[in-house]
Structure 1
Amino acid sequence: MIKTVNLLKRKRGMSMEEFIEHYESTHRRIGEKYLKGHACHYIRRYLFPVPDPATGESYEAEYDVLLEIWYPNEAAYQNAMAAINAPEAAAEISADEANLFDRSSMRSFHVREFESDM
């Protein structure tokens, strides 16, 4: 199993509600179109800062969504990368990203997980 994680920040001036609405109604569907048949999980985890327990103060989060995409194997991951980097797909994804994200702050990672028995 291969898992990628992306940390994404919404575009300046966009509320969290607007961000989630656009992501779930539009950008998610674009992702599904190109990931279908390659990825086995496409999960968006929206982040809401927890106020400081001592002071009650809140802060602006550095990122607004943790995106997880799981692939069953290396071949599926490579095929997905080829699909989303094809010129037509890359143009469609990029055009919508410009409406949604602070693209300069986007970060992507491969994940190696370890789980504790509790």
Structure 2
Amino acid sequence: MLKMIILIRKKPGMSRDDFIHHYETSHAVIGKRLLGHLWTKYVRNYPMSLMEYQPEENSVDDSYDAVTEIWFKDQADVDEMARIINIPENNRLILEDEEKFQDRIHTRLLMVEEIDNGTVLG
């Protein structure tokens, strides 16, 4: 299964709450409307604390403010998403919305092959 991971920083000066609110009530809605039929799963993750290397810290990791995961059935769906995004009116809508809440120069997209061996913890 293919998965896209998107690392996003909030716009400088924007609060965490405002960033999450805009993402959930505007950008995610636009994405689902235009592209949701191509996704098998769509998850937005918002880091709460930095724990991995500094467990004594209890502050929000400011490296990225959202880690978005989008799963695809196959490469054809990834290609179709790119085609839809590049339709001029869709591209304009998406970019204008991103400018409202993202520090776009720092956004990173990773295509990964997800391997799940079915391990259940606990």
Q: Which residue of 2 aligns with 1:50?
A: 50
Aligned pairs for 1:1-118 within 5 A: 1-50=1-50, 52-54=54-56, 56=57, 58=59, 60-115=61-116, 117=119
Percent of aligned positions that are identical = 33
- Counterpart CA distance in 2 for 1:112 and 1:40 is 14
Task: State the aligned residue count.
Answer: 117
Q: What is the CA-CA distance between 1:104 and the residue it aligns to?
A: 0.7
SS in 1 for 2:5: strand
SS in 2 for 1:37: helix
**Normalized against structure 1, the TM-score is what?**
0.88
Pick closer, same or farther for the CA change 1:17–1:73 going to 2, 3 Å. same
Pick closer, same or farther for the CA change 1:103–1:20 going to 2, 3 Å. same
- Larger deviation: 44-53 or 90-99? 44-53
Which consecutive segments of 4 or more residues in structure 1 shift more than 2 A? 49-54, 56-60, 112-118
The residue identity in structure 1 corresponding to 2:65 is D
Q: What is the CA-CA distance between 1:15 and the residue it aligns to?
A: 0.6
Q: Return 5+ residue gaps in structure 1 as ranges.
A: none
SS in 2 for 1:40: strand
Q: What is the CA-CA distance between 1:2 and the residue it aligns to?
A: 1.4
Q: Return 5+ residue gaps in structure 2 as ranges.
A: none
CA RMSD of aligned residues (A): 1.8
SS in 1 for 2:98: helix
**Normalized against structure 2, the TM-score is what?**
0.86
The residue identity in structure 2 corresponding to 1:71 is F
- Counterpart CA distance in 1 for 2:66 and 2:101 is 12
